[in-house]
């Protein structure tokens, strides 16, 4: 897919930390319960750390106790791209930023969380940047 923001690999490496690059550009995963936003309750908007696109709001964030920030819906339906992921011997749905194609995490459905969508967008903290609404 063509993205609004496309950069050569060398530029992504220069702009992102090694961990950010690994997760965002190589579809890596940060260790569970270590991310900056796993337990935060700060109100605001979560942006893509690679390109600044608005992805999720704090009002859609919920406690799933899975080790990564969880959201039940993106800020805008066009904010993320969903792709079938057959890595690691299983079938999952990968979540990418629709603006730059960066890997954010995975989305799961039917797990029984009491959310309006019955979905859990399990997103790496390192993929996000929070802009607080709090004074």
For tokens 């579809």, the residue is 27
The residue among 57, 51, 54, 83 whose CA lies nearest residue 69 is 57
Are the C-beta atoms of 107 and 91 separated by less than 8 Å?
Answer: no
Are the C-beta atoms of 9 and 21 separated by less than 8 Å?
Answer: no
Distance CA(96)–CA(79), nearest Å, equals 9
Q: Catalytic one among 48, 97, 100, 122?
A: 122
Specify whether 51 is catalytic: no
The residue among 99, 92, 73, 103 whose CA lies nearest residue 1 is 99
Angle at 121 between CA 118 and CA 127, to 5 degrees: 170
Residues that are catalytic = 122
């Amino acid at each position: 897919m063509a993205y609004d923001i496309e950069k050569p690999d060398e530029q992504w490496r220069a702009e992102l930390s090694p961990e950010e690059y690994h997760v965002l550009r190589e579809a890596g995963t940060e260790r569970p319960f270590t991310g900056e936003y796993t337990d935060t309750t700060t109100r605001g908007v979560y942006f893509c750390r690679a390109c600044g696109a608005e992805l999720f709001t704090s009002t859609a964030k919920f406690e799933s106790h899975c080790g990564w920030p969880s959201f039940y819906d993106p800020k805008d339906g066009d904010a993320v791209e969903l792709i079938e992921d057959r890595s690691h011997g299983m079938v999952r749905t990968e979540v990418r930023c629709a603006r730059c194609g960066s890997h954010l995490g995975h989305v799961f459905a039917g797990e029984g969380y009491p959310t309006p969508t019955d979905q859990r967008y399990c997103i790496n903290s390192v993929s996000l940047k929070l802009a607080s609404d709090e004074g």
